[in-house]
Amino acid sequence: MVGLYSAVATETSQPITSIPLLILVGVTGVGKSTTVEALEAAGMSFALLPNRRALTDEFIISYLQTQNGETIAPVTDRAQRFNFTRSYRRKHPGGMAHVLSRLHIEPAALGSNLLLFDGLRGENEVQHAAELLPNAKFLVLTASDFTRIQRLLGRSDSFDQIATTGAATLQFDPAIQALLSDSEQKALTNWVMAGDVDIDAVNAKCQIVIKERNNYDPDAALAKLQATAPERTIHADTEALNPEQIADLVLTHF
């Protein structure tokens, strides 16, 4: 069977730059996977590329491990993965956008006239994607940091791992204190005290939000796209709109 994509051109492949592409933009917990499911349910026809996690493993982490003379091995800790992607951006501006722009697509495996990728993050990535992928449209999904933490606490994704100090009490990082209101911090504390969530889980999810915001500011990413590619940018607040409404919004642009 012919694969959908490759990192090198073949006699039959086409550069991804020549193919219509919908790119989901957003950090963890904004609802990207749910949106993809809603688009499928709404009857939108697209070929789904491997997600960001898979391409990071294939083209970023393994590449840097080889460059560093290390054995290629899985990296599950989110903080360590942020270090790898940050290092890759120093070598290749655009990071994941650089990876994506260099792919070649096999039309025989496409099965649709539209590709979908989940997804890009941060100002640096979207700026390069807007320049390198002229046929791409961007669906920017946003949600508050508190909602993202709630969603992370409510899902059982083994990928949501990050090293913590194993604190016996809930002590918010100053960066989280700056992001969350007093009432939001109190709500998290009350959930821990009531036994609804685990202390380590809350600390870990908060740290994921901190690390992502430090590496991929979602507000700056949206602002950059609205400034540089407004006609190709769709913005959806996943707290204000349900998945079906977001799917309808996207379908009006295709």
Task: List the strands of the sheet with 14-15, edge to edge.
Answer: 5-6, 104-105, 14-15
When pLDDT is cut at 50, 70 and 90, the band that residue 161 belongs to is: very low
pLDDT tens digit string along 67-108? 999 999 999 988 899 899 999 999 999 999 999 999 999 999
Mean pLDDT, to the nearest integer, of 104-115?
A: 93
pTM: 0.87
C-alpha distances out from residue 127 to 131, 224, 227, Å? 7, 7, 10
pLDDT > 80? residue 119? yes
**Which of the two residues, 249 and 180, has the higher pLDDT score?**
249
Domain boundaries, the chain: 14-247
Q: In CATH, what is the architecture of 14-247? A: 3-Layer(aba) Sandwich (3.40)
Query: Distance (Å, rounded) from C-alpha 204 to C-alpha 29?
Result: 14
Mean pLDDT, to the nearest integer, of 134-148?
A: 96
Query: Distance (Å, rounded) from C-alpha 203 to C-alpha 166?
Result: 9
pLDDT > 90? residue 173? no
